[in-house]
Chain A
Amino acid sequence: MISAFWRRWLLPFTILPLLPATLFNLFAGREVALLGCLLGLGFPIVAAWLMRRGRAGDAGLAALAMGASVASVAWLGASAGPVAALILAAGAWGGTRLLYAGIEEAPAPLPPPTPEAPPPPRPLDDARARLRAIIEAAQRLHEPRLLPVVTAIGAVLDEFERRPERLEEARRFLGVNLDGLERIAARLSAGAVPPPGLPSLLREMEAAASGLLTRLREEESAALAVQVNVLGTRIREAGYG
């Protein structure tokens, strides 16, 4: 295992041999050669940053950066021609590959998790939205007598959603109760004065919803009791009981 010191600081130190030529070109005013030397100084810094980042494949990129550094110094800084530049670049590339052979690298970062898909719409979601609108209207109008009815209808909705085969019955129930409640809330919002029969009507609606809820549960309980009886009989008939 190569130590963190060598991993972080070796590559920046490799620019030391390039400094005399860089300064000479700076004072001599040789612009192209100075550009080559500056590129030769910059690439090892990039390589050191890559090694410090240490993701998968970064060691290979750092080796390429070192090769590019030497190639720019030889080609632009020393006007050495492509063949010499390629030979020197291959030396730097291979040297860096050998130096950092088998180094540990962090795996590539995972792609950001895709946002979770919204839950599929339930068949009675529109009725729930209407109930929420009625609740908001009741709170706005300071009419708390509507809330027990809304709660009872919401409980019936929960019960019907567990029985998708009875959605038609649920829609019939909502067509009477929920529509009526919506109309009452709309009239109250328009400024109507509650008639004297309204509290009893609301109590009736609440009782109807509660009664339907009770009936649904009783039907399920009766069906379960029948199942238990039938299953017990069959088990006894089969000789397992």
Chain B
Amino acid sequence: MTPRNAPMAPPTAPPPVGTRLIGFFLLGGTMWIAGLLALFRAVMAVVPT
């Protein structure tokens, strides 16, 4: 059990919401691009041109 007078980490300010939003859209956009790219390449490889 942690004693009550144990040293604590200094309080850190949470990152701004914008940082999380950028991360969210960057991750989501990358996943969508990868998924659509894989789908597109698969379709192009199968459908005869």
| A residues adjacent to B (C-beta < 8 A) | 1-2, 10, 14-15, 17-21, 24-25, 28, 30, 33, 36-37, 40, 66, 69-70, 73-74, 77-80, 84, 88, 91-92, 94-102
Contact residues in A for B35 (Cβ distance below 8 Å): 17-21, 73
Instruction: State which of A17, A78, A101 has its C-beta within 8 Å of the C-beta of B20.
Output: A101
Contact residues in B for A19 (Cβ distance below 8 Å): 35
Interface string of B15-29 (1 = CB under 8 A from A): 100011011111111
- Do most interface residues of chain B lie in helix, strand or loop, or is the interface mixed? helix
Q: Which residue of A lies closest to B33 (CB)?
A: A88
Determine if B12 is an interface residue (Cβ-Cβ < 8 Å): yes
B1-49 contacts to A (CB < 8 Å) = 12, 14-15, 19-20, 22-43, 45-46
Q: Which residue of B lies closest to A11 (CB)?
A: B27
> Is B22 touching A78 in the complex (CB atoms < 8 A)?
no
> Is A79 touching B46 in the complex (CB atoms < 8 A)?
no
Instruction: State which of B12, B27, B38 has its C-beta within 8 Å of the C-beta of A73.
Output: B38
Contact residues in A for B29 (Cβ distance below 8 Å): 91, 95
7 nearest A-B residue pairs (beta carbon) = A98-B23, A95-B27, A17-B35, A95-B26, A99-B23, A21-B38, A91-B30
Contact residues in B for A73 (Cβ distance below 8 Å): 34-35, 37-38
Q: Which residue of B lies closest to A10 (CB)?
A: B24
Contact residues in A for B12 (Cβ distance below 8 Å): 102
